[in-house]
Amino acid sequence: MAIAVKNVTKHFGDFVALDDVSIDVPDGGLTALLGPSGSGKSTLLRVIAGLEQPDTGQVLISGEDNTATRVQDRNVGFVFQHYAAFKHMTVFDNIAFGLRIRGEGNGTIRERVRKLIELVHLQGFERRFPNQLSGGQRQRMALARALAVEPRVLLLDEPFGALDAKVRQELRTWLRRLHDDVHVTTIFVTHDQEEAMDVAEQIIVMNDGKVEQSGGPRDLYENPASEFVMSFVGPANRLGTAWVRPHDVEVRHEPNGQTTEAMIDRIVHLGFEVRVELTLTDGEQFSVQLTRDEVDQLELAEGQIVFVRPRATRVFSADGAAGSPAAEPEVA
């Protein structure tokens, strides 16, 4: 394991940021820490980096216990949400910072910085200052700066959170490819489940300072271990005690004994996908995901009465944990 966190607890005053958290991150992988704000994901990343000290527990990097190691000596690369660019230094000097601290020679520094600038596509920007770069360029500079010292692990704290949607999408793809080239064990924090599923091989879902579940993107989506994971990773509807994904619902005009009646409130066209928002007879809100063709075929319209049947539901025990697929498709 490249990174192992064992039973880490961290308080800020009365607030429990991390509650007995243990995770394992495999060597060379790209792992996402996913959770809503206040779930403890950023605190966990900062504990791994050494920017926060845990109250109890251990942090192991490459098998060594680094719990008491100073941040300077951990040799981790850290990328901040708001870039943390050294504003008074040029792009070149920003990237060279860690190498200069380590007392590398000028020739080595020039060569290494040149390679990194190529890697993050900032050729021609060497003498610019951070305020002369766009947000995406600053974040790529910050990434090059973190990679310059050849860190054992790369930690990214909501790296694309401050960027607009299009740049975020581009950088995601680019990070994925960069990781294929550089192969450094990487953990990135995000609150965006789509981003996590897009980029990461392994996702660790956090909530309320605890790890809810970890696994591959598909595994989390198809076998959520708790109501929280079900509702946070991907869209989900609640039907009484059961949960159903919006694309696991059949919509028809005639009842067939297994269906329940609903009225269409709104039809939202999202390109290829169409989201149909419904209200059940008991007043519960519900949404169904269909393709454009299905909607055309069914000739759905707002205000219409239709009949719906979940194809697959999932029931969690009373404490919200230990989910199991319901044996029979059931209707609330």
Q: Which among 51, 78, 58 has a CA at the least distance from the CA of 186?
A: 78
Cβ closer to other proteins: 95 or 242?
95
Cβ closer to other proteins: 167 or 321?
167
Q: Which among 210, 222, 205, 245 has a CA at the least distance from the CA of 323?
A: 222
Q: Which stretch binds other proteins (CB under 8 A): 30-38, 54-62, 132-140, 266-274?
A: 132-140
* Binding residue (CB under 8 A) for other proteins from 3, 44, 78, 310: 78
Interaction residues for other proteins, span 44-63 (CB under 8 A): 49-51
Q: Which among 209, 204, 208 has a CA at the least distance from the CA of 32?
A: 204
CB of 100 to other proteins, least distance (A): 9
* Binding residue (CB under 8 A) for other proteins from 58, 86, 238, 261: 86
Q: Which two tokens stand for residue 291?
A: 């393709």
Over the window 211 to 240, marking each residue x when it contacts other proteins by CB under 8 A and - when it does not, the resulting string is ------------------------------
Q: Which among 198, 209, 192 has a CA at the least distance from the CA of 173?
A: 198
The torsion of the CA quartet 38, 42, 48, 50, rounded to 10 degrees, works out to -100
Over the window 280 to 299, marking each residue x when it contacts other proteins by CB under 8 A and - when it does not, the resulting string is --------------------
Over the window 112 to 131, marking each residue x when it contacts other proteins by CB under 8 A and - when it does not, the resulting string is -------x-xx-x--xxx-x
* Binding residue (CB under 8 A) for other proteins from 1, 71, 263, 312: 71
Which residues lie near other proteins (CB under 8 A)?
A: 49-51, 71-78, 80, 82-88, 90, 97-98, 101-102, 119, 121-122, 124, 127-129, 131-137, 142, 145-146, 148-149, 167, 170-171, 173-174, 177-178, 181
